[in-house]
Amino acid sequence: MDKKFPKDFLWGAATSAHQVEGGLDNDWIQWEKENAKRLARDADKKWEKWQQDKFPEMFEVSNYISGKSCDQYNRYEEDFDLAKEGGHNAHRLSLEWSRIEPKKGEFSKEGIEHYRKVLLALRARGLEPFVTLWHWTEPVWIGEIGAWENNETSKYFIRFAERVFNEYKDLVKFWMPLNEPGTEVSLGYMFGNQPPGVKGKISANRAFKNLMQVQKNIYKIAKSVSPDFQIGCSHFMFDIKSYNRLPWNVLATKIMDYFANHRFFKAFNNSCDFYGIQYYQPFNVNFKLGGNFFGFFENKKIIEKQSDLGWQIFPEGIYNVLQKASKNGKPIYITENGLADAKDKYRTEFIEGHLKYVQKAVVDGMDIRGYFHWSLLDNFEFVEMRGFWPRFGLIEIDYKTLERKPRKSYFEYQKIIRQSKSS
Ligand code: BGC
Protein backbone atom coordinates (compact mmCIF):
# COMPACT_ATOMS: atom_id res chain seq x y z
CA MET A 1 0.00 0.00 0.00
CA ASP A 2 1.49 3.37 -0.84
CA LYS A 3 1.18 6.17 1.59
CA LYS A 4 -1.29 8.78 0.63
CA PHE A 5 -3.11 9.20 3.90
CA PRO A 6 -3.34 12.61 5.51
CA LYS A 7 -0.58 13.24 8.06
CA ASP A 8 -2.91 13.55 11.00
CA PHE A 9 -5.08 10.58 9.96
CA LEU A 10 -6.40 8.69 12.98
CA TRP A 11 -5.83 4.95 13.16
CA GLY A 12 -7.51 2.73 15.66
CA ALA A 13 -10.06 0.11 16.56
CA ALA A 14 -13.48 0.24 18.15
CA THR A 15 -15.36 -1.55 20.92
CA SER A 16 -18.49 -0.97 22.97
CA ALA A 17 -18.98 -1.32 26.71
CA HIS A 18 -21.59 -4.07 26.73
CA GLN A 19 -19.57 -6.13 24.30
CA VAL A 20 -16.26 -6.12 26.17
CA GLU A 21 -16.49 -4.88 29.74
CA GLY A 22 -18.29 -7.67 31.58
CA GLY A 23 -19.95 -7.44 34.98
CA LEU A 24 -22.82 -5.24 33.85
CA ASP A 25 -26.32 -4.77 35.09
CA ASN A 26 -28.51 -3.13 32.44
CA ASP A 27 -31.64 -3.78 30.41
CA TRP A 28 -29.83 -5.96 27.85
CA ILE A 29 -28.49 -8.20 30.60
CA GLN A 30 -32.05 -8.81 31.69
CA TRP A 31 -33.08 -9.63 28.15
CA GLU A 32 -30.19 -12.06 27.80
CA LYS A 33 -31.33 -13.91 30.90
CA GLU A 34 -34.87 -14.15 29.61
CA ASN A 35 -33.98 -15.16 26.06
CA ALA A 36 -30.75 -17.17 26.16
CA LYS A 37 -32.44 -20.58 26.24
CA ARG A 38 -34.68 -19.78 23.32
CA LEU A 39 -31.79 -18.39 21.30
CA ALA A 40 -29.70 -21.53 21.86
CA ARG A 41 -32.64 -23.74 20.91
CA ASP A 42 -33.42 -21.79 17.75
CA ALA A 43 -29.87 -21.47 16.45
CA ASP A 44 -30.51 -24.20 13.89
CA LYS A 45 -33.23 -22.08 12.30
CA LYS A 46 -31.13 -18.99 12.18
CA TRP A 47 -27.79 -20.20 10.85
CA GLU A 48 -26.75 -22.27 7.88
CA LYS A 49 -25.47 -25.81 8.23
CA TRP A 50 -21.81 -24.89 7.64
CA GLN A 51 -22.03 -22.29 10.38
CA GLN A 52 -23.69 -24.69 12.79
CA ASP A 53 -20.96 -27.26 12.15
CA LYS A 54 -18.15 -24.78 12.50
CA PHE A 55 -19.50 -23.04 15.61
CA PRO A 56 -21.37 -25.57 17.75
CA GLU A 57 -21.13 -23.16 20.68
CA MET A 58 -24.15 -21.39 19.17
CA PHE A 59 -26.27 -24.19 20.67
CA GLU A 60 -25.07 -23.44 24.19
CA VAL A 61 -27.05 -21.15 26.46
CA SER A 62 -23.81 -19.56 27.71
CA ASN A 63 -23.16 -18.20 24.20
CA TYR A 64 -25.99 -15.75 24.79
CA ILE A 65 -25.05 -14.51 28.26
CA SER A 66 -22.50 -11.72 28.12
CA GLY A 67 -21.40 -12.33 31.73
CA LYS A 68 -17.79 -11.35 32.28
CA SER A 69 -17.24 -11.05 28.52
CA CYS A 70 -13.61 -9.94 27.94
CA ASP A 71 -13.43 -8.45 31.43
CA GLN A 72 -12.19 -5.21 29.96
CA TYR A 73 -13.57 -3.43 32.98
CA ASN A 74 -10.52 -4.75 34.83
CA ARG A 75 -8.13 -5.21 31.91
CA TYR A 76 -8.41 -2.00 29.95
CA GLU A 77 -4.78 -1.09 30.51
CA GLU A 78 -3.60 -4.34 28.97
CA ASP A 79 -5.94 -3.78 26.01
CA PHE A 80 -4.84 -0.22 25.48
CA ASP A 81 -1.19 -1.32 25.65
CA LEU A 82 -1.96 -3.68 22.79
CA ALA A 83 -3.69 -0.93 20.84
CA LYS A 84 -0.69 1.30 21.29
CA GLU A 85 1.75 -1.46 20.31
CA GLY A 86 -0.40 -2.04 17.27
CA GLY A 87 0.48 1.48 16.16
CA HIS A 88 -2.96 2.96 16.90
CA ASN A 89 -3.23 6.62 17.77
CA ALA A 90 -6.96 6.65 18.50
CA HIS A 91 -9.52 4.38 20.08
CA ARG A 92 -13.30 4.26 19.99
CA LEU A 93 -15.19 3.05 23.05
CA SER A 94 -18.52 3.61 24.76
CA LEU A 95 -19.37 4.67 28.28
CA GLU A 96 -21.99 2.53 29.96
CA TRP A 97 -24.88 4.66 31.19
CA SER A 98 -25.86 2.03 33.77
CA ARG A 99 -22.47 2.33 35.48
CA ILE A 100 -22.66 6.10 35.66
CA GLU A 101 -26.32 6.41 36.63
CA PRO A 102 -27.38 3.02 37.95
CA LYS A 103 -30.43 4.51 39.66
CA LYS A 104 -32.57 7.34 38.39
CA GLY A 105 -30.89 10.63 39.25
CA GLU A 106 -28.18 8.95 41.35
CA PHE A 107 -24.85 9.35 39.69
CA SER A 108 -22.25 6.87 40.82
CA LYS A 109 -18.91 8.26 41.96
CA GLU A 110 -17.33 4.91 41.31
CA GLY A 111 -18.68 4.75 37.76
CA ILE A 112 -17.56 8.26 36.96
CA GLU A 113 -14.14 7.69 38.46
CA HIS A 114 -13.74 4.43 36.55
CA TYR A 115 -14.20 6.07 33.18
CA ARG A 116 -11.92 8.92 34.16
CA LYS A 117 -9.21 6.32 34.73
CA VAL A 118 -10.06 4.64 31.43
CA LEU A 119 -9.83 7.92 29.52
CA LEU A 120 -6.61 8.85 31.28
CA ALA A 121 -5.20 5.46 30.34
CA LEU A 122 -5.98 6.19 26.68
CA ARG A 123 -4.43 9.64 26.85
CA ALA A 124 -1.33 8.27 28.58
CA ARG A 125 -0.80 6.01 25.58
CA GLY A 126 -1.38 8.69 22.99
CA LEU A 127 -4.73 7.24 21.94
CA GLU A 128 -7.29 9.91 21.00
CA PRO A 129 -10.59 8.84 22.54
CA PHE A 130 -13.74 8.67 20.40
CA VAL A 131 -16.48 8.33 22.96
CA THR A 132 -19.93 6.92 22.30
CA LEU A 133 -22.54 7.67 24.94
CA TRP A 134 -25.17 5.20 23.86
CA HIS A 135 -24.18 1.97 22.21
CA TRP A 136 -27.73 0.61 22.60
CA THR A 137 -27.84 -0.39 26.27
CA GLU A 138 -29.66 1.45 29.03
CA PRO A 139 -29.88 1.27 32.80
CA VAL A 140 -32.59 -1.09 34.05
CA TRP A 141 -34.74 1.83 35.20
CA ILE A 142 -34.81 3.18 31.65
CA GLY A 143 -35.71 -0.24 30.27
CA GLU A 144 -38.58 -0.31 32.74
CA ILE A 145 -40.15 2.82 31.31
CA GLY A 146 -39.98 1.51 27.74
CA ALA A 147 -36.61 2.96 26.73
CA TRP A 148 -36.82 5.05 23.53
CA GLU A 149 -40.51 4.53 23.07
CA ASN A 150 -40.96 6.81 26.04
CA ASN A 151 -40.27 10.54 25.56
CA GLU A 152 -39.04 10.72 29.15
CA THR A 153 -35.97 8.71 28.15
CA SER A 154 -34.75 11.61 26.03
CA LYS A 155 -34.86 13.91 29.02
CA TYR A 156 -32.90 11.49 31.19
CA PHE A 157 -30.38 10.75 28.48
CA ILE A 158 -29.73 14.44 27.90
CA ARG A 159 -29.15 14.95 31.61
CA PHE A 160 -26.71 12.01 31.59
CA ALA A 161 -24.91 13.36 28.52
CA GLU A 162 -24.55 16.82 30.00
CA ARG A 163 -23.07 15.37 33.14
CA VAL A 164 -20.62 13.29 31.17
CA PHE A 165 -19.55 16.20 28.96
CA ASN A 166 -18.78 18.24 32.05
CA GLU A 167 -16.98 15.42 33.82
CA TYR A 168 -14.64 14.59 30.97
CA LYS A 169 -14.32 17.78 28.96
CA ASP A 170 -10.63 17.94 29.80
CA LEU A 171 -10.06 14.48 28.33
CA VAL A 172 -12.33 14.08 25.34
CA LYS A 173 -12.75 16.07 22.16
CA PHE A 174 -14.58 13.62 19.88
CA TRP A 175 -18.01 12.46 20.97
CA MET A 176 -20.48 10.23 19.22
CA PRO A 177 -23.62 10.52 21.31
CA LEU A 178 -25.51 7.70 19.56
CA ASN A 179 -24.29 4.56 17.89
CA GLU A 180 -26.21 3.66 14.73
CA PRO A 181 -29.63 4.76 15.91
CA GLY A 182 -31.16 3.37 12.70
CA THR A 183 -29.91 -0.15 13.40
CA GLU A 184 -31.20 -0.31 16.96
CA VAL A 185 -34.52 1.18 15.90
CA SER A 186 -35.06 -1.41 13.21
CA LEU A 187 -33.67 -4.47 15.02
CA GLY A 188 -34.89 -3.58 18.51
CA TYR A 189 -38.15 -1.75 17.87
CA MET A 190 -39.38 -2.96 14.48
CA PHE A 191 -38.24 -6.56 14.08
CA GLY A 192 -37.75 -7.24 17.77
CA ASN A 193 -34.77 -9.54 17.45
CA GLN A 194 -32.67 -7.67 19.96
CA PRO A 195 -33.64 -5.71 23.07
CA PRO A 196 -36.06 -4.28 23.84
CA GLY A 197 -37.59 -6.89 21.53
CA VAL A 198 -40.49 -4.72 20.39
CA LYS A 199 -42.16 -5.40 17.06
CA GLY A 200 -44.02 -2.56 15.42
CA LYS A 201 -43.72 0.29 13.00
CA ILE A 202 -45.30 2.76 15.40
CA SER A 203 -42.82 1.91 18.13
CA ALA A 204 -39.95 2.15 15.70
CA ASN A 205 -41.11 5.52 14.48
CA ARG A 206 -41.47 6.86 17.97
CA ALA A 207 -38.01 5.61 18.97
CA PHE A 208 -36.43 7.09 15.84
CA LYS A 209 -38.01 10.48 16.46
CA ASN A 210 -36.85 10.52 20.06
CA LEU A 211 -33.33 9.61 19.09
CA MET A 212 -33.23 12.22 16.36
CA GLN A 213 -34.44 14.89 18.75
CA VAL A 214 -31.94 13.81 21.37
CA GLN A 215 -29.04 14.16 18.96
CA LYS A 216 -30.20 17.70 18.13
CA ASN A 217 -30.47 18.75 21.75
CA ILE A 218 -27.25 17.10 22.74
CA TYR A 219 -25.41 18.83 19.93
CA LYS A 220 -26.38 22.21 21.34
CA ILE A 221 -25.56 21.26 24.90
CA ALA A 222 -22.21 19.83 23.90
CA LYS A 223 -21.22 23.04 22.14
CA SER A 224 -22.25 25.07 25.16
CA VAL A 225 -20.03 22.95 27.40
CA SER A 226 -17.11 23.31 25.01
CA PRO A 227 -17.08 24.84 21.55
CA ASP A 228 -14.05 22.64 20.82
CA PHE A 229 -16.02 19.43 21.06
CA GLN A 230 -16.45 17.60 17.79
CA ILE A 231 -19.78 15.84 17.70
CA GLY A 232 -20.35 12.89 15.41
CA CYS A 233 -23.34 11.03 14.06
CA SER A 234 -22.72 7.35 13.60
CA HIS A 235 -24.37 5.67 10.65
CA PHE A 236 -24.39 2.11 9.41
CA MET A 237 -24.25 1.84 5.63
CA PHE A 238 -24.70 -1.12 3.33
CA ASP A 239 -23.40 -0.61 -0.18
CA ILE A 240 -26.90 -0.90 -1.62
CA LYS A 241 -27.34 -1.93 -5.25
CA SER A 242 -29.98 -3.58 -7.31
CA TYR A 243 -29.01 -7.18 -8.06
CA ASN A 244 -30.21 -6.80 -11.65
CA ARG A 245 -32.27 -4.44 -13.76
CA LEU A 246 -35.67 -5.84 -12.98
CA PRO A 247 -37.84 -2.82 -12.24
CA TRP A 248 -39.05 -4.02 -8.83
CA ASN A 249 -35.47 -4.55 -7.70
CA VAL A 250 -34.48 -1.13 -8.97
CA LEU A 251 -37.43 0.44 -7.20
CA ALA A 252 -36.83 -1.46 -3.96
CA THR A 253 -33.19 -0.35 -4.04
CA LYS A 254 -34.28 3.26 -4.24
CA ILE A 255 -36.74 2.83 -1.39
CA MET A 256 -34.19 1.08 0.77
CA ASP A 257 -31.60 3.72 0.06
CA TYR A 258 -34.12 6.41 0.89
CA PHE A 259 -35.01 4.94 4.28
CA ALA A 260 -31.56 3.72 5.22
CA ASN A 261 -29.52 6.70 4.08
CA HIS A 262 -31.31 9.71 2.68
CA ARG A 263 -33.72 10.00 5.59
CA PHE A 264 -30.93 9.59 8.08
CA PHE A 265 -28.65 12.24 6.61
CA LYS A 266 -31.53 14.65 6.25
CA ALA A 267 -32.56 14.18 9.85
CA PHE A 268 -29.10 14.40 11.36
CA ASN A 269 -27.14 16.77 9.13
CA ASN A 270 -27.61 19.83 11.32
CA SER A 271 -26.67 18.12 14.53
CA CYS A 272 -23.17 16.91 13.97
CA ASP A 273 -19.71 18.08 12.99
CA PHE A 274 -18.66 14.81 11.40
CA TYR A 275 -20.07 11.49 10.30
CA GLY A 276 -18.93 8.20 11.74
CA ILE A 277 -19.54 5.80 8.87
CA GLN A 278 -19.79 2.07 9.65
CA TYR A 279 -19.52 -0.25 6.67
CA TYR A 280 -19.45 -4.03 6.62
CA GLN A 281 -20.94 -5.43 3.42
CA PRO A 282 -22.89 -4.84 0.22
CA PHE A 283 -26.62 -5.40 -0.13
CA ASN A 284 -27.62 -6.67 -3.55
CA VAL A 285 -31.34 -6.12 -3.55
CA ASN A 286 -33.31 -8.99 -5.04
CA PHE A 287 -36.99 -9.86 -4.83
CA LYS A 288 -37.65 -12.98 -2.82
CA LEU A 289 -40.76 -13.89 -0.91
CA GLY A 290 -39.75 -14.42 2.70
CA GLY A 291 -36.53 -12.44 2.22
CA ASN A 292 -35.21 -10.73 5.31
CA PHE A 293 -35.83 -7.18 4.08
CA PHE A 294 -39.50 -6.53 4.81
CA GLY A 295 -40.30 -10.09 3.86
CA PHE A 296 -39.90 -9.42 0.15
CA PHE A 297 -36.27 -8.82 -0.58
CA GLU A 298 -33.05 -10.66 0.09
CA ASN A 299 -29.42 -9.70 -0.05
CA LYS A 300 -28.39 -11.82 -3.03
CA LYS A 301 -25.00 -13.38 -2.45
CA ILE A 302 -22.82 -12.82 -5.48
CA ILE A 303 -19.42 -12.78 -3.84
CA GLU A 304 -17.81 -16.01 -2.86
CA LYS A 305 -15.58 -14.64 -0.13
CA GLN A 306 -17.72 -14.37 2.97
CA SER A 307 -17.13 -13.93 6.67
CA ASP A 308 -18.16 -16.46 9.32
CA LEU A 309 -21.50 -14.64 9.47
CA GLY A 310 -21.94 -15.12 5.72
CA TRP A 311 -21.34 -11.45 4.98
CA GLN A 312 -19.89 -10.78 1.54
CA ILE A 313 -16.44 -9.23 1.45
CA PHE A 314 -16.54 -6.31 -0.95
CA PRO A 315 -13.86 -3.65 -0.34
CA GLU A 316 -15.02 -1.41 -3.17
CA GLY A 317 -18.26 -0.94 -1.28
CA ILE A 318 -16.52 1.25 1.26
CA TYR A 319 -15.64 3.69 -1.51
CA ASN A 320 -19.25 3.80 -2.65
CA VAL A 321 -20.64 4.51 0.80
CA LEU A 322 -18.00 7.13 1.49
CA GLN A 323 -18.88 8.82 -1.75
CA LYS A 324 -22.54 8.91 -0.77
CA ALA A 325 -21.81 10.16 2.75
CA SER A 326 -19.37 12.79 1.48
CA LYS A 327 -22.14 14.55 -0.38
CA ASN A 328 -23.33 15.90 2.96
CA GLY A 329 -20.26 18.07 3.20
CA LYS A 330 -18.97 16.91 6.58
CA PRO A 331 -15.68 15.29 7.47
CA ILE A 332 -15.86 11.52 7.84
CA TYR A 333 -14.29 9.02 10.17
CA ILE A 334 -14.82 5.35 9.44
CA THR A 335 -15.82 4.33 12.92
CA GLU A 336 -16.45 0.63 12.20
CA ASN A 337 -15.36 -1.78 9.50
CA GLY A 338 -14.49 -5.40 10.05
CA LEU A 339 -15.56 -9.02 9.83
CA ALA A 340 -16.22 -12.14 11.88
CA ASP A 341 -13.31 -14.41 11.02
CA ALA A 342 -12.32 -16.84 13.77
CA LYS A 343 -9.42 -18.31 11.77
CA ASP A 344 -8.19 -14.91 10.61
CA LYS A 345 -8.38 -16.24 7.09
CA TYR A 346 -9.49 -13.07 5.34
CA ARG A 347 -8.92 -10.28 7.88
CA THR A 348 -5.58 -9.10 6.50
CA GLU A 349 -6.79 -8.90 2.92
CA PHE A 350 -10.04 -7.37 4.17
CA ILE A 351 -8.17 -4.55 5.90
CA GLU A 352 -5.77 -4.00 3.01
CA GLY A 353 -8.56 -4.08 0.47
CA HIS A 354 -10.79 -1.66 2.32
CA LEU A 355 -7.97 0.71 3.14
CA LYS A 356 -6.96 0.87 -0.52
CA TYR A 357 -10.41 2.17 -1.27
CA VAL A 358 -10.31 4.56 1.67
CA GLN A 359 -7.06 5.84 0.28
CA LYS A 360 -8.62 6.24 -3.15
CA ALA A 361 -11.42 8.22 -1.55
CA VAL A 362 -8.85 10.51 0.07
CA VAL A 363 -6.95 10.93 -3.19
CA ASP A 364 -10.23 11.70 -4.95
CA GLY A 365 -10.74 14.59 -2.55
CA MET A 366 -13.11 13.16 0.07
CA ASP A 367 -12.50 14.42 3.58
CA ILE A 368 -11.79 11.13 5.37
CA ARG A 369 -9.93 11.62 8.63
CA GLY A 370 -9.66 8.28 10.34
CA TYR A 371 -10.27 4.54 10.35
CA PHE A 372 -11.34 2.38 13.30
CA HIS A 373 -11.35 -1.35 12.76
CA TRP A 374 -14.15 -3.31 14.35
CA SER A 375 -12.94 -4.65 16.63
CA LEU A 376 -9.85 -4.45 18.79
CA LEU A 377 -10.72 -7.77 20.38
CA ASP A 378 -13.18 -10.61 20.03
CA ASN A 379 -16.30 -9.69 21.92
CA PHE A 380 -19.91 -10.40 22.69
CA GLU A 381 -21.60 -9.83 19.34
CA PHE A 382 -24.88 -8.48 20.66
CA VAL A 383 -26.38 -7.44 17.34
CA GLU A 384 -29.43 -9.69 16.95
CA MET A 385 -28.02 -11.42 20.04
CA ARG A 386 -25.59 -13.58 18.11
CA GLY A 387 -23.39 -14.06 21.14
CA PHE A 388 -19.76 -15.02 21.48
CA TRP A 389 -19.14 -17.25 18.49
CA PRO A 390 -18.62 -14.55 15.81
CA ARG A 391 -15.07 -13.34 16.29
CA PHE A 392 -14.37 -9.84 15.12
CA GLY A 393 -11.09 -9.18 16.90
CA LEU A 394 -7.66 -8.14 15.74
CA ILE A 395 -6.89 -9.80 19.05
CA GLU A 396 -8.24 -13.21 19.91
CA ILE A 397 -9.76 -13.78 23.33
CA ASP A 398 -9.57 -17.10 25.08
CA TYR A 399 -12.83 -16.83 26.99
CA LYS A 400 -11.72 -19.42 29.55
CA THR A 401 -8.48 -17.77 30.60
CA LEU A 402 -9.21 -14.29 29.18
CA GLU A 403 -5.80 -14.34 27.62
CA ARG A 404 -5.34 -11.86 24.75
CA LYS A 405 -3.59 -13.18 21.63
CA PRO A 406 -2.94 -10.74 18.79
CA ARG A 407 -3.81 -12.34 15.47
CA LYS A 408 -1.64 -12.13 12.36
CA SER A 409 -3.92 -9.40 11.00
CA TYR A 410 -3.17 -7.28 14.09
CA PHE A 411 0.47 -7.18 12.95
CA GLU A 412 -0.47 -6.52 9.34
CA TYR A 413 -2.62 -3.59 10.40
CA GLN A 414 0.29 -2.36 12.49
CA LYS A 415 2.50 -2.50 9.39
CA ILE A 416 0.05 -0.50 7.31
CA ILE A 417 -0.18 2.17 10.00
CA ARG A 418 3.59 2.37 10.34
CA GLN A 419 4.07 2.68 6.59
CA SER A 420 1.49 5.42 6.36
CA LYS A 421 3.19 7.36 9.12
CA SER A 422 6.65 7.06 7.63
CA SER A 423 5.58 8.68 4.37
C1 BGC B 1 -22.41 -2.42 15.86
C2 BGC B 1 -21.44 -3.26 16.66
C3 BGC B 1 -21.42 -4.67 16.14
C4 BGC B 1 -21.01 -4.67 14.69
C5 BGC B 1 -20.94 -6.05 14.03
C6 BGC B 1 -22.30 -2.65 14.37
O7 BGC B 1 -23.50 -2.39 13.76
O8 BGC B 1 -22.25 -1.06 16.17
O9 BGC B 1 -21.82 -3.17 18.00
O10 BGC B 1 -20.69 -5.57 16.90
O11 BGC B 1 -21.96 -3.92 13.95
O12 BGC B 1 -22.18 -6.63 13.89
Per-residue pLDDT tens for 236-277?
999 999 999 999 999 999 999 999 999 999 999 999 999 999
What confidence tier does 4 reach under pLDDT thresholds 50, 70, 90? confident
Report the share of the chain in percent with pLDDT over 70. 99
CB-CB neighbours of 44 under 10 Å: 12
pLDDT mean over 54-63: 98
What confidence tier does 295 reach under pLDDT thresholds 50, 70, 90? confident
For the CA of 382, the nearest atom of ligand 1: 10
Does residue 284's CB lie within 6 angstroms of at least one atom of ligand 1?
no
Does residue 236's CB lie within 6 angstroms of at least one atom of ligand 1?
yes
Does residue 359's CB lie within 6 angstroms of at least one atom of ligand 1?
no
- Compute the distance between CA of residue 397 and CA of residue 407 in angstroms, rounded to an integer: 10
Q: Are 296 and 193 in contact (CB under 8 A)?
A: no
Q: What is the pLDDT of residue 366?
A: 98
Which SS3 state, helix, strand or coil, does residue 75 take?
A: helix
Which residue minimizes the CA distance to atom 1 of ligand 1?
A: 383
- Mutational pocket test of ligand 1: of 20, 93, 374, the residue with most ligand atoms within 8 Å of the beta carbon: 374
pLDDT exceeds 90 at position 94: yes
Mean of the per-residue pLDDT values of the chain: 97
pLDDT exceeds 90 at position 291: no
Q: Cα-atom radius of gyration of the chain, to the nearest Å?
A: 20
Report the share of the chain in percent with pLDDT over 90. 96
Q: What is the pLDDT of residue 1?
A: 60
pLDDT mean over 155-178: 98
- Compute the distance between CA of residue 361 and CA of residue 284 in angstroms, rounded to an integer: 22
Task: Identify the helix (H) or strand (E) that includes residue 9.
Answer: none
User: How many DSSP H helices and E strands does the chain contain?
Assistant: 16, 11
pLDDT tens figures, 324-360? 999 999 999 999 999 999 999 999 999 999 999 999 9
Which one-letter DSSP state was computed for residue 2? -
Q: What is the pLDDT of residue 235?
A: 97
With CA atoms as reference, report the closest residue to 315 among 271, 359, 280, 354.
Answer: 354
- Compute the distance between CA of residue 135 and CA of residue 374 in angstroms, rounded to an integer: 14
Query: How close is the Cα of 246 to the center of ligand 1, in Å?
Result: 32
Q: What is the pLDDT of residue 222?
A: 98
pLDDT exceeds 80 at position 370: yes
